């Protein structure tokens, strides 16, 4: 019988109060608290702490406090990653972002979902699906990206959008749920 952590990693329903699952979150909670306590006037210390928290990060990394995540090691960002204040990444499943990604304030990337049944929620069940974000992407302020979504390259997600489905390359999306507004130039 697979453990709850194995179920989580396989994208199956798992018991989210499991001790192994909770232990992963405890480490990230501590590192997020340490990061958020660092002075904004010490970007080198902030960058070092985020690099310790993330699974991988490329060159030129800037994350503004406060920042929150569930695990940290499932977050992989490319070169020139920039996020504004109050980014929350529920990285129960992997969150992978390419190069030149900019994230506005109050954005949420959520890989975790809960059952649509009352009993499933009472049983503390969850399911995690990865989020993938391509190169040259800008997520405007207050954007939410839901579990299992892939956002292509050269995409702009307008402020306040809720991305529930995959987004093709070279697209501007907006709204709740986010819908394509127009194509973007690849230049």
Tokens linked to 108: 């949420």
Count of beta carbons in the 10 Å neighbourhood of residue 80: 17
What pLDDT digit, counting tens, does each position of 20-46 carry? 999 989 999 999 999 999 999 999 999
Is pLDDT above 90 for 111?
Answer: yes
Options 68, 76, 100, 114, the catalytic residue: 114
What pLDDT digit, counting tens, does each position of 69-84 carry? 999 999 999 999 999 9
Alpha carbons 174 and 181: distance in angstroms, whole number: 7
Query: Is 114 an active-site residue?
Result: yes
**Mean pLDDT over each residue of the chain, to the nearest integer:** 96
Token match 């990061």: residue? Answer: 35
Is pLDDT above 80 for 11?
Answer: yes
Residue ranges per domain, the chain?
4-183
Cis peptide before 85 (omega within 30 of 0): no
For domain 4-183, which CATH number applies: 3.40.470.10, 2.160.10.10, 3.50.50.60, 3.20.20.60?
Answer: 2.160.10.10
Helix (H, G, I), strand (E, B), or coil: what is residue 33? helix
């Amino acid at each position: 019988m697979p453990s709850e952590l194995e179920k989580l990693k396989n994208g199956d329903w798992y018991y989210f109060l499991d001790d192994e699952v909770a232990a992963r979150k405890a480490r990230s909670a501590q590192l997020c608290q340490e990061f958020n306590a660092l002075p904004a006037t010490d970007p080198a210390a902030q960058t070092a702490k985020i690099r310790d928290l993330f699974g991988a990060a490329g060159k030129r990394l800037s994350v503004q406090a406060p920042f929150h995540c569930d695990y940290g090691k499932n977050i992989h960002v490319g070169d020139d990653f920039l996020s504004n204040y109050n980014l929350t990444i529920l990285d129960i499943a992997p969150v992978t972002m390419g190069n030149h990604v900019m994230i506005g304030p109050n954005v949420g990337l959520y890989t975790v979902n809960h059952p649509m049944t009352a009993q499933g929620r009472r049983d503390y069940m969850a399911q995690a699906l990865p989020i993938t974000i391509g190169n040259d992407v800008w997520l405007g302020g207050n954007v939410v990206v839901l579990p299992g979504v892939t956002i292509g390259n050269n995409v702009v997600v307008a402020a306040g959008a809720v991305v529930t489905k995959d987004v093709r390359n070279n697209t501007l999306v907006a709204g709740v749920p986010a819908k394509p507004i127009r194509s973007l130039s690849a230049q």
